[in-house]
Structure 1
Amino acid sequence: MDFPEYIQIIKQLFVAGGIVMPPLVLCILLLWYGLGYRFWVMKTPRRIGVRDLLRYYQQHDDQPAKGIVAQAIKQGVRLQKEGVKNLRRHLDAAFYEYEREINKFSVLVRIVIIISPLLGLLGTVIGMIETFDSLATMTLYSQSGGIAGGISQALFTTQMGLTVAIPGLLAHSILNRKQHQIESDLSQVKDLLCHQIVSHHPIVSSS
């Protein structure tokens, strides 16, 4: 299939979807851009315990950090070794950027998931109204498919809206669980670093 044929297929989709097709396409682009960005930010190498990771970077602070938790641990260890006063406050300020980064585009994705089916339903309602209006003049009988063809076109937008929303909802749920886990890890890192300052004892157990 060459490029002109792809263009023709896209044109047919826009004709079948009617007036709501452009905003639906925009929703698709925004949704998968947001999901892709969040996946890229929160991707991590093979998971090891937070305690083990913290111990590793305390002993090898010159090693590169892979993943957002490792980056936060490395920065926290640096602050700990600098002996800053009120370490917890500095950790909260330093980790805020990581917490904001993993939450980026979350609201946008959620909004797109909500409005996509509604746009599809709106397109169906518009298509059904046009179909029944055409019955007065029997216009649809002069077109291929008759009334069934008109209804088929009307339902196409609902199908498109659900096609956007359902995979997006599943991916968003998976990424939300990942976000909550990272937030929990960051909170644990702050507790462990501050506890070490108070107790002056190394971590003795691994997760």
Structure 2
Amino acid sequence: MTIALVDVRKTYNISGSEVFALDGVNLTIPTGEFTAIMGPAGSGKSTLMKILGCLDRPTVGSYTLDGQEVTHLTDAALAATRKKKIGFVDQNFSLLPRMSALQNTTIPLIYAGIGKEERYERAEQALLTVGLDKCLRQRPNEMSDCQRQRVAIAQALVNNPDIILADEPTGNLDTKAGDEIMDVFSSLSQQGHTVVIVTHAPDIARRMCRVVHVRNGRIVRDDKI
């Protein structure tokens, strides 16, 4: 089991009152599953994604990732786990405008301390995986939104993570480009990556194997498709 949350609660103290962002979430996601998380604004899905990505910790409850309890890891150990196991994709691409697709894709490897030659080899392979092998030297302003999102996915892939978490990755794309990006995610899932996507779009969710519906900090429905 890649991901297992048991009775996870996340609370915040706002003006002296305890507010639940997550209220008793139990969720398991097997290796390689293609999962959507849906819910209205303020439902807790973003908080859930942060906890899954080891960017935040539950107030109470257990989070086991590949058999390791991560809830009580030190900040350094949690960051190391995040760097090794998890790749992130968001809807805003977050690319540096003066750098080529290839250079942008190497950035996570610079932080990981990987040597220059290996960085570029791995970045080129990641771009090949997302279908951008002919756009290595192009800068973001020379690319379409769909191509820029593919570069963002290549960035997430370049460390070969087990898990890919994507927050509204088709939110800034038209329907055709969104379908192309979902094809990439589907392919990654078929290759064995666990892919979890936060989305508001029912047509995107219908392309996935499972849809977890979140409301008021709780999972209210869990549909296998």
More helix by share: 1
- With the length of structure 2 as denominator, give the TM-score of the two structures: 0.22
Higher RCO (C-alpha under 8 Å, 6+ residues apart): 1
Higher strand share: 2
TM-score by length of 1: 0.23
Which entry has the higher C-alpha Rg, 1 or 2? Answer: 1
